[in-house]
Amino acid sequence: MQMCVSVRTPKWVSSRRVLEQKLSQLHKCSNLSQVKQIHAQIIRANLHHDLYIVPKLVAALSLCRQLALAVNVFDQIQEPNVHLYNTMIRAHIQNSQTSQAFATFFNMQSNGVCPDNFTYSFLLKACYGRNWLPVVQMIHNHIEKFGFSSDIFVPNSLIDCYCKCGPLGVSEAKKVFNAMGVRDVVSWNSIIGGLVKVGELGEARQLFDEMPERDLVTWNTMLDGYSKARLMNEAFEFFQKMPERNVVSWSIIVAGYSKAGDMEMARMLFDKMPVKNLVTWTIIIAGYAEKGLAKEATSLYDEMEKVGLKPDEGTIISIMAACAESGLLGLGEKVHASIKRNRYKCSVQVSNSLVDMYAKCGSLNKAYEVFSRITNKDLVSWNAMLHGLAIHGHGEKALHLFSELKKEERLKPDPVTFIAVLCACTHAGLVEEGLRFFHSMESEYGIVPQVEHYGCVIDLLGRGGRLNEAFDLVNSMSLEPNAVIWGTLLGACRVHNDVNLAREVLDRLVKLEPSDPGNFSMLSNIYAAAGDWDSVANMRLLMRSTGIQKRSGASSIEVDDEVHEFTVFDESHPQSDKIYQMIGRLSQDLKRIGYFQK
């Protein structure tokens, strides 16, 4: 007779198994409530020192943006192993706490725990930009010292990181690439991508041709390089040679033609796309909007919504930026209406793009309405609203808004803020206030004035008739004055008919822009206003003899979702006869009420 013996599983084993089941996906969980519940269970089961469980918990808390709690969990481990240190380093980097990540790395070494290949790869992800090059070189030295160069994963990370540090970084990346005994497709793609990024298309193409095996990423990288360099003939030829294309390939070539201003070709390719996603629709709509082609942009936006695609943050920001650039208020309002209709919860970035669009299009009431509803305004919000008020001549309102900004304890004005403030003073004629703000930049806010700030102040003084002060300021600049600075001063000379100063300014300006016809034309106008017709004639002869021709100015207006552009004596518009008849009638009406053109 057999006896069945029942073996009871110890309670702590059972609880651990249950927890392990929950923990198997915990490192991917971003539900804070669920993570906290599991954390409580870990503590009750006395497993909060377990080196298998704790890294998963730290990773989960990191995903939930609970870094303080993650650090607390980490600090309770008396002897963390390399895996736990790596998890903590990665958590800091994922939450943009770079200095804490490196502090953990140095603490790891001081405690005698040797880094592994993952340690360096995580650290390298935090290094981006030219200023990080010395740090990347330091990590590279560590990698060589501890012998991790043979692990292909590490040099690949190193190449990718070096390529994010500008041209000098790409030079270092090439050394790493050339020293590799074994390379995979990631190695080749990383170095080709780095060369493309710094504009070394010839060398990138040479490596592309040498590459033993290419994937779609490789082809798209080269295509993107040609497109961004505006080499659209080469880009199209390359596009046609591609063995396969995905939606990214099509989006790159459409974006290339769009940025190059060839909307006909961009549209043809867009229409041929086998599959379109939201990114591609955004590219083509924004492309039309940037060119002021309101009907085409609006029509495509309606079509995009009809196929069931709703704008996301990237779409909204891109289209708003294009509308702000070209002044397409109608399309901007249509997108804003879609946001309201779809009950889209606007982020600060989306709200800022709306404020910027409305402000630049001159719809200041709507801009302020959006601005006032932003609960957590950042400095971009304030700057967009300030700039809108300033450029449209509402100087007093802009300065009042600036005084409100100064009350915000968590925000401090930056260089962009002061450009708006100085611009506001210029348009409102507040010379003394503008000078006071200019001098307070460095003394009160630690902001060193840049050439844009000097330009605003010189414009301010010039409009106020204080030309000698403006000239003295240009000569005392700590920066080298550019053509815009001298051009602004020359414009002020024209307004106040200061012929002598205008001659001296033009001498400086011609050295910077010897072939710009606008400068000579402006001096000619100054001579004409002063009645010096001999000098006018000499200036015109000089312009003819040197082949300099003044470009005609252009004006544009949006009517019924269509932008109409006009130049001087332009007769290309289909209704030009009616337009000139209306101008003639307006001229006669103005003369009747006593207006005479000077």
Distance from C-alpha of 60 to C-alpha of 55, rounded to nearest angstrom: 9
Mean pLDDT score, 181-185: 91
Structure confidence at residue 11 (pLDDT): 46
Structure confidence at residue 593 (pLDDT): 73
Look at 541 and 275; give whichever has higher pLDDT: 275
φ, ψ at 38 (rounded to 5°): -65, -35
Mean pLDDT score, 166-187: 93
Mean pLDDT score, 471-476: 90
Of 66-70, 359-363, 451-455, 502-506, which gets the smallest average pLDDT? Answer: 502-506
Does pTM surpass 0.85?
Answer: no
Distance from C-alpha of 417 to C-alpha of 382, rounded to nearest angstrom: 8
pLDDT score of 12 more than 50: no
Computed over every residue of the chain, the mean pLDDT equals: 85
Look at 506 and 153; give whichever has higher pLDDT: 153
What does the pLDDT look like over 327-338, one tens digit per residue?
899 999 999 999
Task: Tell whether the torsion through CA atoms of 503, 493, 522 and 529 is positive or negative.
Answer: negative
CATH dotted code for 449-555: 1.25.40.10
Of 43-52, 240-249, 333-342, which gets the smallest average pLDDT? Answer: 43-52
CA distances from 271 to 22, 276, 292, 294, 297 (A): 49, 9, 20, 19, 14
| pLDDT band (50, 70, 90) for residue 7 | very low
φ, ψ at 559 (rounded to 5°): -135, 125
Find which of 10-19, 25-34, 334-343 is predicted with most confidence, using mean pLDDT.
Answer: 334-343
Q: What is the CA radius of gyration of the chain?
A: 32
Find which of 455-459, 502-506, 523-527 is predicted with most confidence, using mean pLDDT.
Answer: 455-459
What does the pLDDT look like over 54-68, one tens digit per residue?
888 888 888 888 888
What does the pLDDT look like over 411-436, one tens digit per residue?
999 999 999 999 999 988 899 999 99
For residue 559, the surrounding DSSP H or E stretch is strand 554-559
Counting beta carbons within 10 angstroms of the beta carbon of residue 443, is it exposed (0 to 12), middle (13 to 18) or buried (19 or more)? exposed
| pLDDT band (50, 70, 90) for residue 107 | very high
Query: What is the domain partition of the chain in residue ranges?
Result: 17-114, 449-555, 568-593
pLDDT score of 15 more than 60: no
